[in-house]
Structures are given as structure tokens and as C-alpha cells.
Amino acid sequence: MRVLMFGWEFPPHISGGLGTACYGLIKGMNHHNQEVIFVVPKLWGDEEDLADFVNASDVTINYREKKFKNIWKNLTYLEVSSFLVPYLGPEEYQKFTDYAIHDRTDVDESIFTNKYEFSGKYGKNLMEEVSRYALVGAQIAKDRQDFDIIHAHDWLAFPAGIAAKEMSGKPLVVHVHATEYDRSGESVNQPVYDIEKAGMQAADHVVAVSHLTRNIIIRKYGIPGHKVSVLHNAVLDASIIKSEYQKKVPEKIVTFLGRITFQKGPEYFVEAAKKVIDRDPNVRFVMAGSGDLLNKMIQRVAELRMASRFHFTGFLKGKDVDHMYAISDVYVMPSVSEPFGIAPLEAVRHNTPVIISKQSGVAEVLVNAIKVDFWDVDAMADAIFALLHYDGISRMFKELGSDELKKLKWEHVAAKLITVYEKTIAQQS
């Protein structure tokens, strides 16, 4: 089988879990000898040779053709507040209050060229890039007929998947890694929601990363349940990492590692930290990451007078992430709404016991972790205190967690995805 797949990022140039999931999935597909044409807005030249990569910035579009004009006519783009976009660094959290929505009914050569250089970033022109990426998707589908099915990851790539389906007539699978309700709660950004819904409606099948996400898709987007399958994420390597990196302080360390945004629930981590420190001042808390709530969290830590026991590292990547896991005695993910959440699995790989919110998809597959409601800071604090002070409990979660990882392999996920492909193709024919 040959799959035309649209994504927005690919390792090593990633800003979050989306690129990592695409990487794992393609490795799993390779394990089963499946071929993937993977399209991204911008290639950097140092990607691992796992697929037939297509750089959208190199594709020339014949926009004079009627089909392209019709696709462009149906697209809208806007300058959107960057804080609504997933996986952003602090420098990108600049608010834009004027939303400009353009419904173009023609193709203006002064605005649209036959080749477009994508930034590959999450900036203020993101929606414009999403729309142009859709035209690239249509052109690739027209030029390359050597694929059996189309697969689009998250809303950024949904318009490209829809355009490719319109151009080729091939079936479309959309993969939902997160929804606008996860990112923004009930205060959704309407244009982003509309793109998500349009992608799910146009798709022949929808893949969700958890039952939690599947329920949101059905309830909030009105997609029939029979059309939505669940494929949990996995880990690239299930082996336990034995790091030689040593922490430089004698105290126990409790870590939050992720985007400091509404979705990740950092404020609940801060409040739980205060309750633990009141019981045992010889504990250090670390918030590793960046996001639009960073300044608010720093201010709250100061108000609670625990700055000497609470540390902010900023955004970490590569070996710095491994080092942070290695020196942590407890990892906490208090997400308000987490479609899946790969970070706890990485913590388990570093032999670090984890506390996760019940409102996360990873809670569906990670049995040997302490699970609390994100809002229950008392339960969170009690769990942290127990893991820090009762060695037997901590040792049990470490031992059982390592066994659990062995079941979570990307080749297993890919095998289930291939079955979804085969059923979707069969239903269309």
C-alpha cells in the first residue's frame, strides 16, 4: 500500500508531540513494508530517510486550472492570535486583536505565485500558509497518482487532505491528535474549529489518539461514532534509559515538563507544590517549558513565597529533556484536557514514577501510574508526597511501568492503521 500523508512538522525540527507521533507512525509503517509519501511545508535537509519526502516549498502550482480556482475559492485564511496555535515558544505569543478573514473568489497573481516558500513555523501568517498548503496538496495529488489513500494529521493539514481528495478521488483519513477544545476549552477559535469539522466531515474515516478525543469528536463535532477509530500513541523505544547524569542538589525533585498553557494545567501544579512544601520544605519543584501562562505562573510562585523552592527552566529539548527526567523523583502531568500525552511515557523510560490527570488519553493505556482529577490539588499533593516519602510505592511504579512500555510499540499502532486503511478503501470501492 502507498499512502499520501500530510503533516506540518517532522523531526528533528519539531515543536511538540505532533512531529514525534508522525515519526513513530512512519517508522511503524516501514516495519510493515508500507510506503509513505510524506509532505511537509518545509524540509530542512537533515530528516531521517524514512519516507518519500516532498517539500511543499518546491512544488509548482498550475493555479490557472479551473479545479485549483475552485479549491482556492473555498479556502479562507486569517491572521490568528498565535497563542491559539499548538507548540509555540514564548517569543511567538504575541496577541493579534484584528482578525482578517479573506474569502477569495478569484486567484490574483500579485498575491498568489505558482510557487510558495513556506516558513514551516507557527507564526501570525499560519492560516495563509495552511490555505496555500492545501493548493500544494491538490497539485501533488494531480501529479502523483501512485498512492492508494490520503492521510492528513491535525487541522493544519486537513485542508490539504481535502484538496488532495477532491483532485484525486482517493479516500481520505484524518488523524486527530488534538482538538480546539483541548487547546482553548469552551472558548474555541471558530475558524480553527470550522477547519477541524470540515476535515472530519470530508474524511472517509477519522482516527483519534484516545477514547477521550473520540468522545469530543462525536459530541462536539457531530461525527458519527462508526466513522471514528481510536489508535493510541506509542513510544519509539521501550527500553529503560539508565542515565549517568547526576542532580546537583540533595533535595527530591518534582517536575512539570510541557507547554505552559491552559491545556496543560500548570496552575494546578503550582498550587499542589505549595501544599507539599508546607509539609516538607526540602523538596524542589521544576516547571520546564514555555507558553502564554509562564509569567502568570512566575507571579503566582512569588505570591506563594516559594521561589527558593520552585524553578523555571524555559523550553528544553534534546539531551536537556533527558537530563531533566533523569534527575526527577516524580513527574506530574496535570493536563486539563490531554488527547494523549507522550511525556509520561518518556518519564517512565527514565524510571521516573508519574502522576497524570484522569483527563488525559495516556491514562487509558498507562495502568501503573497515579491518576488524579486535574483540579484536585489536594489529591495531587498527597500523591506527590507519597511517592517522595514511601520508597516501596515509588519502587513498585518504576518496576511495573517498565513492563508496560513493552506493549506500546509503533509497529502495533501501524498494524491497526493499515487495517483502517484497508477497510476504508474497501468501503469506497
Q: Model confidence over 399-411: pLDDT tens digits?
A: 787 778 888 899 9
Confidence (pTM): 0.83
Q: Model confidence over 99-142: pLDDT tens digits?
A: 323 333 333 443 345 777 787 676 667 787 888 888 899 999 99
| Residue 183: closest CA among 326, 272, 87 | 87
3-state SS, residue 30: helix
CA angle 62, 67, 71 (to 5 degrees): 95
Asked if residue 178 lies in contact with residue 154, where contact means CB atoms within 8 angstroms, the answer is: yes
**Distance between CA 351 and CA 346 in Å, rounded?**
9
Q: Model confidence over 255-289: pLDDT tens digits?
A: 999 889 888 999 999 999 999 999 999 999 999 99
Q: Model confidence over 38-82: pLDDT tens digits?
A: 999 988 888 888 999 999 989 988 766 667 667 666 665 444 433
Return all residues near 152 (Cβ < 8 A) that are at least 6 apart: 5, 6, 158, 160, 161, 162, 172, 173, 174, 175, 199, 203
Choosing among 1.10.10.10, 3.40.50.2000, 3.30.420.40, 3.40.225.10, the CATH entry for 252-405 is: 3.40.50.2000
Q: Is the sign of the CA dihedral 406, 87, 26, 322 positive or negative?
A: negative
Mean pLDDT of the chain: 85
Q: Model confidence over 159-198: pLDDT tens digits?
A: 999 999 999 999 999 999 999 988 888 888 888 899 999 9
* pLDDT at site 105: 37
Q: What's 2-234+409-428's CATH class?
A: alpha beta
Residue ranges, comma separated, of all CATH 3.40.50.2000 domains in the chain are 2-234+409-428, 252-405
